[in-house]
Amino acid sequence: MLAQQLKAKDRLIVALDVSTLDEARAIVKDLREHVGMFKMGLELFAAAGIALFDMMKQEQINVFFDGKFHDIPNTVAQASRNVTSHGVGMFNVHGSGGSAMLKAAVEARNQAVADYGLSKQPLLIAVTVLTSISGDTLKSELKVNEDVLEHVTGLARLAKDSGLDGVVASAKEAGAVRKSCGEDFLIVTPGIRPQWASTDDQQRIVTPAQALRNGADFLVIGRPITAAKNRSDAVKKVLEEMEFGLE
């Protein structure tokens, strides 16, 4: 199914940015009927390890493993093979790892699907520029002599040319990525904040409706939902904003 045909619920990825499996299970219990996917990242993985994949299977949820692999090609290839074997729906690598690393990840993912007889191939996407990084940080600290938009778009083209399914990018750059990489290239956007939520530590943020209008396919939202007093109410409010953006 093309991402453009997905409903708001299927486009929403809730971040399980917690430190225990019990906390993660509680969030899943509250929200599983309202979202299409849950993101499991380094905070939870560092606490629970591969037990989180067992939880994924027990709870029968679709998971985006936000491991952000960034290493030499062989190491990233083996990590990609291993995470694919667990049956995740999506995982990512850093686009700044270069084409050899990106292609190694794609090849390992594809081979693992065949070797393990998986019925579904996980989506493989590349991280461009973290939404916590501002343009000033990119230039003054990381010494990248491009503005954020140019750098994100360049990494997106590199990811597409290397055979990946899409990228992680701020919705502020989604329109440029869409124009450069086409309609079938997925754009997953973190740094989403509903109109009623605080910005926390994010720099390049937009609302759910704005993100979808800018061309995003999937939205990653964490604290505004998971830290809410009533998570179900919070996610319903987010979905309402998303529906408005899809009109």
pLDDT digits (tens, 9 = 90+) for 13-38: 999 999 999 999 999 999 999 999 99
Q: Which residues contact 179 (CB under 8 A, 6 or more apart)?
A: none
As a whole-number percent, the residues of the chain with pLDDT over 90 amount to: 87
pLDDT for 204 beyond 80: no
Helix, strand or coil, per DSSP, at residue 187: strand
Which pLDDT score is estimated for 240? 94
Which pLDDT score is estimated for 131? 83
Q: Where do the structural domains in the chain lie, given as residue ranges?
A: 3-246
Give the predicted TM-score (pTM) of the model: 0.93
- Indicate the length of the chain as a whole number: 247
Using alpha carbons, select from 28, 36, 27 the residue that is nearest to residue 1: 36
Q: How far is CA 141 from CA 69, 135, 138, 152, 228, in A?
A: 22, 10, 6, 17, 34
pLDDT for 63 beyond 70: yes
Distance CA 12, CA 37 (A): 7
Burial bucket for residue 55 (CB in 10 Å: 0-12, 13-18, 19+) = buried
Q: How far is CA 215 from CA 43, 180, 206, 209, 224, in A?
A: 29, 12, 12, 10, 22
Helix, strand or coil, per DSSP, at residue 208: helix
Which pLDDT score is estimated for 89? 97
The mean predicted confidence, pLDDT, of the chain is 93
> pLDDT category, 1, cuts 50, 70, 90?
very low
Q: Span 3-246: which CATH code?
A: 3.20.20.70
List pLDDT tens digits, range 146-167.
999 999 999 999 999 999 999 9
Check if 139 is active-site. Answer: no
**Which residue in 29, 57, 68, 160 is the catalytic one?**
68
